């Protein structure tokens, strides 16, 4: 399988491993012959599931638990019935880039923060300053889900990446801006279709569900129409054009033909339009003409009543039927006063007395329970409509998939346009060539961000060693390169004036993290783990970003570890990964610990001293810096002068 298993993850899985294994062994696998004994069952399952792979076992165990909780497919069954698993199929994600969890936090790909509003504190977080937050201009939840998935799973599949970039390029053209906003306004109406479909299968659909489903389907039809008018050479447009047709049109037209939204909202239940069902039409017509007819009946009833009774009316109460309603007279005090000859007293409601008479009985017999009949009939039609929609619901899954992709790409268009990103070019040459690269997030934090180039490649040197005073911009630069390459691997435009990206099969980092508490490992141990992963797994096409490796231990040990690691890669010569490394170990260069090599390139950043003041230009240049300017940086950070002075005295 094309994946690298993170040792930290395996370690953290060990407590749940036996539970997951047990869950798998006791699963309801209907594909297994029923006459198998327990040992035979284990043997059979182990031929399908690699029990020696902790990640696989825990993932499958988690999936089975999820299915059991949601009771998918057996919602209405007894709770003792387990979800039947019909088959197990292996699915290998071949093209995705191995990325470790650290990467997402150190490069600020995702950053959830507690919500600042006090009343929302308990209800989860919000996205902070992160790449996801920056790119997520999605209009619907499906776009947001797709964007999240793409960020979690960058890919090497160039065909897929080019297809995404083609869509972005199309919408980036100024003359396509109107099309962009038209599609975006339709995307807003695509709602939670799977939830509505689930309610349909449970026959628990509300009027609002019908409205939302219709709006979603109608908007999808409009998007389909728009995509049909766009160049079909763009893969996504042609896929949408062919998918958003037949069944989708059918669902949209059948809902609009059958459902009477106005009446449904008024009646708070599913109502159908006229001319859908003659029986319902007939009953509704009778119900409409009923009020005049009932007034006439009431007039006749009044003629037969005591003269003291000034008025009466005929009312209809669902499930009870027609009743004669009379205003209670002051003389009618006790129940016996309510009795009237020829009428059966039914009940008192407010100040009105209700009776059943010969005429109301006749009305019941002739007109029947009109309301209930209509309701029953309409409910039956709703079930038929639901069945028709569910039979064709596969197209709605396609809608969600393609809408998610389109929305995520349009969101990328918005940020690319707003922040001046460019389309990256993918090349088969082993090269990373970025001109005027910018850190996509840091640009918002520093007044004027200084763009810098990156050139790592076949003829260019593959190991960049960055030195420079503290705070000169080394870490920001490393992250900037990592983020630009990462953005290219999700099919986004990138913050640069030009970017040529060769094959990249993984991004390894040794960057500052705040995870030592949660992992139970020391900071130095985390550093070592991260570098070990890079040493053990990186290939010629991997990008490695190392920021100040070795500083977490005694200087000599740290320096020697760093030098040994670099020597390991220098020996690989042109097969060496793309490496960007920043260090404050100036003795690495002063003591000439590293061998002379054409693949090593020393770079630093421009800065100068204005009197005692340290000024950073953040501009990358060739060369080495042999001073840290730590004392001046400490002064800028507000350290007391006497401490800084004493530090300088000790140094010399």
Ligand X SMILES: Nc1ncnc2c1ncn2[C@@H]1O[C@H](COP(=O)(O)OP(=O)(O)OP(=O)(O)O)[C@@H](O)[C@H]1O
Nearer to ligand X, 191 or 474 (CB): 474
Within residues 163-192, the interface with ligand X by CB under 6 A covers: none
* Range in contact with ligand X (rule: CB under 6 A) among 16-24, 149-157, 380-388, 466-474: 466-474
Distances (CA, A) of 553 to 252, 315, 557, 563, 580: 67, 90, 7, 14, 21
Nearer to ligand X, 103 or 618 (CB): 618
Nearer to ligand X, 329 or 450 (CB): 450
Nearest-approach distance from CB 479 to ligand X, in angstroms: 8
Tell me: does residue 577 bind ligand X (CB under 6 A).
no
Nearest-approach distance from CB 59 to ligand X, in angstroms: 37
Nearest-approach distance from CB 474 to ligand X, in angstroms: 4
User: Pattern of binders to ligand X over 599-638, x per CB under 6 A?
Assistant: -------------------x--------------------
Nearer to ligand X, 468 or 577 (CB): 468
* Range in contact with ligand X (rule: CB under 6 A) among 18-26, 152-160, 202-210, 471-479: 471-479
Residue 563 bridge partners (DSSP): none
Contact 605, 620 (CB under 8 A): yes
List Cβ<8 Å contacts ≥24 apart for 527-530: 527/552, 529/7, 529/8, 530/100, 530/102
Residue 582: strand, helix, or coil:
strand
Tell me: does residue 476 bind ligand X (CB under 6 A).
yes
Distance CA 361, CA 497 (A): 86
Tell me: does residue 446 bind ligand X (CB under 6 A).
yes
Binding-site member from 415, 430, 471, 509 for ligand X (CB under 6 A): 471
What is the C-alpha radius of gyration for the chain, rounded to an integer number of angstroms?
36
Residue 297: strand, helix, or coil:
helix
User: Pattern of binders to ligand X over 374-403, x per CB under 6 A?
Assistant: ------------------------------
User: Pattern of binders to ligand X over 581-600, x per CB under 6 A?
Assistant: ---x----------------
Nearest-approach distance from CB 581 to ligand X, in angstroms: 12
Distance CA 417, CA 168 (A): 10
Residue 96 bridge partners (DSSP): 155
* Range in contact with ligand X (rule: CB under 6 A) among 39-47, 398-406, 474-482, 498-506: 474-482
* Range in contact with ligand X (rule: CB under 6 A) among 177-185, 220-228, 335-343, 446-454: 446-454
Nearest-approach distance from CB 529 to ligand X, in angstroms: 21
Cα angle 338, 339, 342 (rounded to 5 degrees) comes to 140
Nearer to ligand X, 158 or 553 (CB): 553
Nearer to ligand X, 415 or 480 (CB): 480
Tell me: does residue 132 bind ligand X (CB under 6 A).
no
Nearest-approach distance from CB 555 to ligand X, in angstroms: 15
Q: Is 196 exposed, middle or buried (0-12, 13-18, 19+ CB in 10 A)?
A: buried
Residue nearest to ligand X (CB): 473
Tell me: does residue 470 bind ligand X (CB under 6 A).
yes
Nearest-approach distance from CB 593 to ligand X, in angstroms: 20
Nearest-approach distance from CB 126 to ligand X, in angstroms: 23
Nearest-approach distance from CB 475 to ligand X, in angstroms: 3
Contact 240, 404 (CB under 8 A): no
Nearer to ligand X, 474 or 632 (CB): 474
Residue 507 bridge partners (DSSP): 543
Q: If residue 327 lies in a helix (H) or strand (E), which one and from where to where?
A: strand 321-327
Residue 125 CB coordination number (10 Å): 12
Contact 190, 220 (CB under 8 A): yes
* Range in contact with ligand X (rule: CB under 6 A) among 377-385, 465-473, 517-525, 566-574: 465-473
Q: Where are the beta strands (DSSP E) in 342-492?
A: 344-349, 352-356, 425-426, 432-437, 452-456, 463-466
* Range in contact with ligand X (rule: CB under 6 A) among 4-12, 82-90, 265-273, 463-471: 463-471
Nearer to ligand X, 115 or 586 (CB): 586
Number of chain residues interacting with ligand X (CB under 6 A): 13
Q: Which residues contact 340 (CB under 8 A, 6 or more apart)?
A: 305, 306, 355
Nearer to ligand X, 371 or 551 (CB): 551
Tell me: does residue 481 bind ligand X (CB under 6 A).
no
Distances (CA, A) of 564 to 467, 499, 600: 18, 32, 14
Nearest-approach distance from CB 548 to ligand X, in angstroms: 7
Contact 505, 540 (CB under 8 A): no
Lookup: tokens for 308 = 């003291």
Residue 456 bridge partners (DSSP): 432
Query: End-to-end alpha-carbon separation of the chain, Å?
Result: 56
Q: If residue 114 lies in a helix (H) or strand (E), which one and from where to where?
A: strand 112-114
Nearest-approach distance from CB 15 to ligand X, in angstroms: 37
Binding-site member from 251, 252, 363, 472 for ligand X (CB under 6 A): 472
Nearest-approach distance from CB 484 to ligand X, in angstroms: 13
Nearer to ligand X, 270 or 477 (CB): 477
Residue 356: strand, helix, or coil:
strand
Contact 586, 558 (CB under 8 A): no
Identify the residue whose tokens are 């840091």. Answer: 442
Nearest-approach distance from CB 97 to ligand X, in angstroms: 25
Nearest-approach distance from CB 446 to ligand X, in angstroms: 4
* Range in contact with ligand X (rule: CB under 6 A) among 229-237, 316-324, 470-478, 484-492: 470-478
Distances (CA, A) of 135 to 282, 411, 441, 449, 493: 56, 6, 11, 19, 10
Nearest-approach distance from CB 201 to ligand X, in angstroms: 53
Residue 580: strand, helix, or coil:
strand
Is the dihedral angle over the CA atoms 615, 618, 622, 623 positive or is it negative?
positive
Residue 638: strand, helix, or coil:
coil
Residue 317 bridge partners (DSSP): 321
Tell me: does residue 450 bind ligand X (CB under 6 A).
yes
Nearer to ligand X, 139 or 625 (CB): 625
Binding-site member from 404, 424, 473, 491 for ligand X (CB under 6 A): 473
Identify the residue whose tokens are 């961000």. Answer: 449
Nearest-approach distance from CB 482 to ligand X, in angstroms: 13
Binding-site member from 214, 345, 426, 449 for ligand X (CB under 6 A): 449
Burial 317-352 (b: 16+ CB within 10 A, else e): eeeebbbbbbeeeeebeeeeebebeebeebeeeeee
User: Which residues make up the interface to ligand X (CB under 6 A)?
Assistant: 446, 449-450, 468, 470-476, 584, 618
């Amino acid at each position: 399988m094309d994946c690298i298993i993170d040792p930290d993850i395996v370690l953290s899985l060990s407590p749940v491993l036996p539970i997951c294994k047990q869950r798998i062994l006791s699963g309801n696998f209907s594909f297994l012959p029923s006459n198998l004994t327990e040992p035979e069952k284990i043997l059979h399952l182990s031929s399908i599931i690699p029990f020696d792979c902790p990640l696989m076992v825990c993932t499958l165990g988690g999936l089975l638990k999820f299915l059991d909780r949601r009771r998918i497919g057996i919602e209405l069954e007894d709770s003792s019935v387990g979800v039947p698993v019909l088959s197990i199929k292996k699915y290998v994600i071949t093209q995705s880039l191995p990325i470790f969890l650290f990467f997402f936090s150190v490069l600020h790909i995702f950053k959830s923060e507690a919500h600042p509003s006090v009343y929302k504190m308990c209800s989860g977080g919000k996205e902070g300053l992160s790449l996801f937050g920056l790119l997520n201009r999605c209009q619907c939840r499906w776009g947001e889900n797709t964007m999240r998935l793409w960020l979690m799973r960058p890919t090497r599949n160039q065909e897929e990446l080019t297809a995404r970039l083609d869509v972005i390029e199309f919408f980036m053209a100024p003359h396509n801006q109107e099309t962009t906003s038209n599609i975006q306004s339709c995307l807003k109406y695509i709602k939670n279709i799977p939830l509505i479909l689930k309610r349909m299968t449970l026959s628990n659909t509300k009027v609002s569900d019908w409205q939302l489903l219709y709006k979603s389907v109608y908007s999808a039809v409009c998007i389909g129409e728009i995509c049909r008018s766009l160049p079909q050479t763009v893969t996504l447009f042609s896929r949408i054009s062919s998918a958003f047709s037949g069944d989708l049109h059918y669902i949209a037209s059948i809902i609009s033909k059958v459902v009477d939204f106005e009446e449904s909202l008024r009646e708070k239940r599913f109502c159908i339009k006229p001319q859908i069902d003659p029986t319902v039409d007939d009953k509704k017509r009778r119900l409409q003409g009923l009020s005049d007819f009932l007034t006439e009946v009431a007039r006749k009833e009044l003629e037969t009543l005591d003269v003291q009774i000034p008025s009466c009316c005929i009312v209809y109460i669902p499930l009870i039927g027609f009743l004669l309603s009379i205003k209670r007279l002051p003389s009618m005090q006790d129940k016996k006063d309510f009795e009237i000859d020829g009428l059966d007293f039914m009940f008192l409601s407010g100040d009105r007395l209700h009776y059943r008479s010969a005429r109301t009985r006749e009305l019941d017999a002739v007109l029947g329970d009109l309301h209930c009949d209509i309701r029953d009939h309409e409910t039956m039609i709703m079930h038929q409509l639901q069945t028709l929609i569910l039979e064709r619901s596969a197209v709605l899954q396609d809608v969600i998939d393609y809408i998610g992709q389109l929305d995520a790409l349009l969101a990328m268009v918005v940020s690319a346009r707003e922040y001046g990103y460019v389309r990256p070019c993918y090349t088969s040459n082993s090269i990373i060539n970025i001109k005027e690269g910018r850190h996509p997030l840091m640009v918002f934090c520093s007044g004027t961000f200084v763009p810098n180039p990156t050139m790592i490649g076949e003829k260019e040197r593959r190991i960049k060693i960055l030195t420079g005073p503290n705070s000169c911009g080394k870490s920001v630069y490393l992250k900037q390169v990592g983020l630009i390459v990462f953005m290219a691997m999700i099919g986004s435009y990138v913050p640069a004036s030009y970017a040529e990206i060769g094959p990249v099969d993984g991004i390894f980092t040794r960057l500052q993290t705040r995870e030592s508490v949660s992992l139970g490992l020391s900071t130095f141990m985390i550093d070592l783990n991260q570098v070990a992963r890079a040493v053990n797994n990186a290939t010629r096409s991997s990008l490695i970003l190392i920021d100040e490796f070795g500083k977490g231990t005694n200087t000599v040990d740290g320096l020697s570890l760093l030098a040994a690691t670099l020597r390991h890669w220098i020996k690989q010569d042109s097969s060496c990964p793309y490496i960007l490394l920043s260090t404050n170990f100036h003795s690495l260069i002063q003591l000439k610990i590293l061998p002379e090599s054409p693949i090593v390139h020393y770079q630093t950043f421009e800065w100068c001293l204005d009197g005692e003041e340290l000024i950073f230009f953040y501009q990358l240049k060739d060369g080495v810096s042999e001073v840290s300017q730590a004392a001046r940086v400490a002064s800028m950070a507000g350290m007391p002068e006497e401490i800084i002075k004493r530090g300088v005295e000790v140094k010399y």
